[in-house]
Amino acid sequence: MRIPEDLKYTREHEWLLMEEGTVTYGITDFAQSELGDIVFVELPEVGDAVTVNDTSGTIEAVKTVADIFSPVSGHVIEVNERLVDDPDLVNRDPYGEGWMIKVEVEDPPELVDLLSADEYNGLIEQEQANS
């Protein structure tokens, strides 16, 4: 399981990359492995407003359906259209070509509640120990 050091993470298993007022996010390698084979991804429209910790999309896997939670508040400036025809990109490359949403951030102070790679790894270990 990969947990890149240069990203931030949420307790809901989203990763995010911050770049000058824009955040790109998707689900983590751990999350996609827990879901199994992803068959459908529903994302917001460009221009839609998203709010931190609210649902911003859904992922349907062979086993289950899961919500995607926005790690920030802002407006969607891009979605990964490739996921419409190839949702398995999330399984194959969750931190690269399987990215999901880009948001222009409205409230940068929200970013303080994010986890480092080490903290996220600890969260996963704790969850696995409790299951």
The neighbour count for residue 49, using CB atoms within 10 Å, is 14
What DSSP character marks residue 113? G
What is the structure's pLDDT at 63?
83
Decide: residue 38, CB within 10 A, 0-12 exposed, 13-18 middle, 19+ buried. Answer: buried
* Residues ≥6 apart with Cβ < 8 Å to 125: none
User: Would residue 30 count as lying in a domain?
Assistant: yes
Q: Which helix (H) or strand (E) covers residue 83, if one does?
A: helix 82-85
User: Would residue 25 count as lying in a domain?
Assistant: yes
User: Would residue 84 count as lying in a domain?
Assistant: yes
What DSSP character marks residue 81? T
User: Would residue 130 count as lying in a domain?
Assistant: no
User: Would residue 3 count as lying in a domain?
Assistant: no
pTM: 0.91
Q: Any idea of the CA torsion for 96, 98, 101, 105, to the nearest 10 degrees? A: -20
Averaged pLDDT for residues 97-112 = 84
pLDDT of residue 109 exceeding 80? no
What is the structure's pLDDT at 81?
96
Q: Residue 38: which CATH number? A: 2.40.50.100
What is the structure's pLDDT at 110?
65
User: Would residue 2 count as lying in a domain?
Assistant: no
- Residues 3-39 pLDDT 10s: 999 999 999 999 999 988 899 999 999 999 999 999 9
- Residues 69-85 pLDDT 10s: 999 999 999 999 999 99
Count of domains observed in the chain: 1
Q: Please answer whether residues 51 and 58 qualify as being in contact, where contact means their C-beta atoms are separated by less than 8 angstroms.
A: no
Residue 100, domain extent: 8-108+116-125
